Amino acid sequence: MKLNDLLRPESKQILTEELLVESMSRHCEFYLATDEKWYMDLAPAEYGEQDDADTFGPFRSYEEAYEYLDNFSNPGSYYTDDSGTRPSPKQSPNGSPVRSPRSMGGGGGFRRYRF
C-alpha cells in the first residue's frame, strides 16, 4: 500500500497544492556587479525565462542574496556569476525597477500560501 492510498481526498489536495508552491522551475541568477554588490534575477512564474525576471538588490554578499531567496518558492536551480564584470542594473530584465530587498523584508523562511 502506498502513502497516497492512505490519505483522505482533502489531504491529497492540500499536499498537492503545497508541493506546487514549494518548488517551481524558473530562471534564478545571482551575480556580482561592478559596484561590488550582489543582485538576484528571479522569474516570478513557473518556467519563467531570464527576460521575465525581476531584479532584487543590492546585497552586501552572495550569502545575503542567497538567504533572501527564502522569501520565495524554490526555483529548482540557479546560476552564479562572481566575475564582477556586469554593470549594476538600472532595471530588471522584464523592464520593471530593481526591487530593494528591504521593501519585502529580509530572509525569514518560506512563506506558505493557501488556495
Whose CA is closest to 112, among 31, 15, 34? 15
How much helix, strand and coil, in percent to the nearest 5, is found in the chain? 30, 25, 45
For the chain, what is the radius of gyration of the CA atoms? Answer: 17
- CA gap 55, 47 in Å, rounded: 17
Q: Are strands 28-33 and 79-86 parallel, antiparallel or unpaired?
A: parallel
Whether the per-residue pLDDT at 65 is higher than 70: the answer is yes
- The verdict on pTM exceeding 0.95 is no
**Mean pLDDT estimate for the chain:** 79
| pLDDT-based confidence at residue 22 (cuts at 50, 70, 90) | low
Cα 50 to Cα 11, 78, 113: the distances in Å are: 35, 11, 25
pLDDT class for 20, splitting at 50, 70, 90? very low
Residue 30: alpha-carbon gap to chain centroid = 10
